Structure 1
Amino acid sequence: MFAQFALHERLLKAVAELNFVEPTPVQAAAIPPALEGKDLRVIAQTGSGKTAAFVLPLLNRLLGDGNSKQRLSIRALILLPTRELAQQTLKEVERFAQFTFLKAGLVTGGEDFKVQAAMMRKIDILIGTPGRLIEHANAGNLPLDEVEVLVFDEADRMLDMGFAEDAQRLAEACGPHQTLLFSATTGGNGLREMVAKVLKDPQHLMLNSVSQLNEGTRQQIITADHNYHKEQLVDWLLANETYDKAIVFTNTRVQADRLYGKLVAAGVKAFVLHGEKDQKDRKLAIDRLRQGAVKVLVATDVAARGLDVEGLDLVINFDMPRSGDEYVHRIGRTGRAGGEGLAVSLICHTDWNLMSSIERYLKQRFERRTIKELKGIYQGPKNLKASGKAAGSKKKKTDKKDPKKATASKRKTGPRPAGKPSVLVSADGSAPLKRKKPAAE
């Protein structure tokens, strides 16, 4: 029960109003030390309830004894890597603060600069992305000397996006404060350096390892011969799997646009989201998916963070993500809050090594799956290697036994029947390639 925490009565009232009954593991672990004012480094998977784990202690601290009602200054700063995640967090803060006098504001790119500057003079809690906040700091619009609580949410992703220097500069601009740092993964050296610089004598809470993805999510791979084959597999999965909403991830904007066009032409209600889209289009894509106006979102990794859509139960990796952490963030979109989900990765010969390295990173083995109607030639290098060894061994034995008989046998075989050329398809599926005859022929 949330009543076990030493929270202000107005916050407990909001928690009850929102039907929060039992705290999640990350909330149970992080809220007590955060209420004591300790710096925290928390590693918890996406969808585990970590937003409430830092929002409730933050609000409790700002409420204090209620005597600070007349203060007009930024007393808490929450940094996030993307606009979508910042917007989502603002809504959560407003929900928990609904019975208090505390006001929150949002500062991200794509909005009027002067309006944001005026708004920041009237709020207690500032939520934003590092890049835009640095612009305001350079313009003299961002007084942070009275900040009491600083939160880094999705800190690992923030560093991946190149915000390390901006985030540290903002931390240095804050007055004496408590720092709460949350991430979905342990990150690399960059995150460790950031922790050392921004946290003072922190308490470390590891609520999950990267291998503990959402328990309700099945993880599968399907081998494919080339990109055109992958497109056929996407069509089949979207037509035959049971889902309310789905995301198809690609690694490039060009592939996202191409796949989106093919889906729309086939009558699929879809939308596309990538870094070239402006804020209006990005918001429209996510809103339509949440509202059910579209069932499928084709996206690059720009959508892998800050996307909390109820009923999202199918994730397809058209391209394998480039790292294990990115895989975790993509797959974290589904199977949330105890729900069930399916994650399918499409693997051709250029993806296999990356897929294998992600399996090792997660200490898992993905379920192998075959779609009978679309079974391809490529089944992975191990199978090919094994069959190649067997064939080579057999040939060698025949030649050794009697080279003359082998030559005679070769002559009897004769040329291939007309009209049955042996062909392979190029990697992108754009053109057939004639297969070279083996040396033995």
Structure 2
Amino acid sequence: MSFESLGLAPFLLRALSEQGYETPTPIQQQAIPLALDGHDLLAGAQTGTGKTAAFGLPLLQHLGTSPQAVGPGSRRPRALVLTPTRELATQVHDSLRGYGKHLRIPSAVIYGGVGMGNQLDALRRGVDLVIACPGRLIDHIERRSVDLSGIEILVLDEADRMLDMGFLPSIKRILAKLPKQNRQTLLFSATFPESIKQLAMEFMRQPREVQVTPQNTVAETIAHRVHPVDGGRKRELLLHLLAADSRVQTLVFARTKHGSDKLATYLEKSGIQTAAIHGNKSQGQRMRALGDFKAGKVKVLVATDIAARGIDIDQLPRVINFDLPMVAEDYVHRIGRTGRNGSTGEAISLVAQDEAKLLRAIVRMLDRDVEIRDVAGFEPQVPIRWGNSAPGKAEQPGGQRPPRRHARRPHGEAPRHAHAGPKKHGGGQRDVGSGNAGRRQQGPRRGGQHAPA
């Protein structure tokens, strides 16, 4: 299938050709024709699937081919894209400017953390397209510096993340300012929790649904590895892993903003070129850190989950979870930045005893084996108790499995594995739960969370 077959206008096809785009991705193949036909759309797509073009190309085609309704006063925005983070807003704005290079569509990108002057100037001049974060857009609504009564297309990008960040009240306030009639709404989300479905029922008209990737699936080319370690020695182990090959670009995930800063400072002082990116950084600092990482000026980028949304880096070889995410689905978002387009990638997690429960949830969701390997010199003082039940494995009543002594293998020797479901007993392997594991049960695998492609 080609972009020509999707019904796109010549000015968009020309821009795509000049940028080297040849074949639409699955989400683009499914979403673009429906959006061009004017349908509201619920689209399941994760970062890296081409979702920006999936909503951006129909949006630009509408703006470029439909005359603006002439109304009183200055030019009002005709299309609005809401995003959860400043980085994603900037990335979407840059992408749409590239796709629309042969159109004259004035646009503005609106987010907090910077002065309002440039944003106010752009809105006063008049724009057709606004890409915005909800918080700063509310500021402009309250100042009456933006009039949303002329919006013809609304896009909610990464809607699940916006709700996770507490933007639901702001989104509802913004929706109340939009016209209810003759408005097309496109909602893109990696997951569809009940809160998203409720929101869609409230403000969308008979939306079509497309889902290109089974929820919570990851590329088969990613190798998952767990290194057990005492919590107090995680920083040393991270430095050991990074120093082993300092040329490999690595994205490191920490749970908190403060933790990200402390970790970046520790690595810098230890001679590793490092930058940190999180919500307390200014927009300039965040863009500079991301730019330096993409350009290879720094080899390690430490990020929180929220700040990392919108980071789009091709050929990223390694992601390290310094802290495991509190929600298993966030593991998928994190590691989805490696192993793209058929390339191989590593997803390494440093796991302490208090994270054993989180690891079990992740392995159960992945429904695949995860290698557990001690690193020589960093073995936990007390072997981690993974619990009585391996992810996906039938519970043994009362935890009646005799403890089994196991030889701890240093880094580089044959690994143990965390299994997502029961398999026949394999020599030398151990699953999460084998701290108390006896003989393995045999039988079919329990079903994992598979959705039709």
Contact 1:218/1:343 (8 A) holds in 2: yes
Alignment partner of 1:269 is 2:273: yes
The equivalent of 1:433 in structure 2 is: none
- Distance in 1 between residues matched to 2:134 and 2:102, nearest whole Å: 29
Alignment partner of 1:181 is 2:182: no
The equivalent of 1:396 in structure 2 is: none
TM-score of the superposed pair, with normalisation by structure 1: 0.82
The equivalent of 1:105 in structure 2 is: 108
Q: Structure 1 residue aligned with 2:359, among 350, 355, 360? A: 355
Alignment map for 1:302-341 (pairs within 5 Å): 302-341=306-345
The equivalent of 1:11 in structure 2 is: 12
- Distance in 2 between residues matched to 1:383 and 1:275, nearest whole Å: 35
Q: Which amino acid aligns with 2:191?
A: T
Unaligned runs of 5+ in 2: 390-398, 406-453
The equivalent of 2:130 in structure 1 is: 126
Q: Which amino acid aligns with 2:242?
A: L
Contact 2:44/2:188 (8 A) holds in 1: yes
The equivalent of 1:202 in structure 2 is: 207
Higher mean C-alpha displacement, 350-359 vs 363-372: 363-372
The equivalent of 1:223 in structure 2 is: 228
Contact 1:48/1:337 (8 A) holds in 2: no
Q: 1:185 is paired with a residue of what secondary structure?
A: coil
Q: Which amino acid aligns with 1:203?
A: R
- Distance in 1 between residues matched to 2:89 and 2:319, nearest whole Å: 23
Deviation sequence 1:8-66 (CA, Å, 0-9, x none): 11011111111111111111111111110101111112201111000001111111256
In the TM superposition, what is the alpha-carbon distance from 1:241 to its structure 2 partner? 4.8
Unaligned runs of 5+ in 1: 393-441
Deviation sequence 1:331-376 (CA, Å, 0-9, x none): 1222233332211111111000011112223333422233335333
Q: 2:349 is paired with a residue of what secondary structure?
A: strand
In the TM superposition, what is the alpha-carbon distance from 1:383 to its structure 2 partner? 8.2
Q: Structure 2 residue aligned with 1:116, among 111, 116, 119? A: 119
- Distance in 1 between residues matched to 2:342 and 2:382, nearest whole Å: 35
The equivalent of 1:432 in structure 2 is: none
Alignment map for 1:9-408 (pairs within 5 Å): 9-64=10-65, 72-121=75-124, 122-175=126-179, 176-186=182-192, 188-228=193-233, 230-241=234-245, 244-382=248-386, 389-390=402-403
In the TM superposition, what is the alpha-carbon distance from 1:253 to its structure 2 partner? 2.7
CA spacing shift, 1:390–1:172, aligned 2, 3 Å:
closer
In the TM superposition, what is the alpha-carbon distance from 1:389 to its structure 2 partner? 4.0
Deviation sequence 1:70-90 (CA, Å, 0-9, x none): 993211000000000000000
In the TM superposition, what is the alpha-carbon distance from 1:255 to its structure 2 partner? 2.4
Q: Which amino acid aligns with 1:57?
A: P
Q: 1:194 is paired with a residue of what secondary structure?
A: helix
Tell me the percent identity.
Answer: 37
Deviation sequence 1:161-209 (CA, Å, 0-9, x none): 11111112212322231000001122x2222221212221011111112
CA spacing shift, 1:243–1:55, aligned 2, 3 Å:
farther
Q: Which amino acid aligns with 2:184?
A: Q
Size of the aligned set, in residue pairs, is: 390
- Distance in 1 between residues matched to 2:39 and 2:247, nearest whole Å: 42
Q: Which amino acid aligns with 1:328?
A: V
- Distance in 2 between residues matched to 1:391 and 1:296, nearest whole Å: 39
TM-score of the superposed pair, with normalisation by structure 2: 0.80
Q: 1:106 is paired with a residue of what secondary structure?
A: strand
Q: Which amino acid aligns with 1:167?
A: I
Contact 2:216/2:329 (8 A) holds in 1: no
CA spacing shift, 1:66–1:177, aligned 2, 3 Å:
closer
- Distance in 2 between residues matched to 1:276 and 1:101, nearest whole Å: 35
Pair member with larger Rg: 1
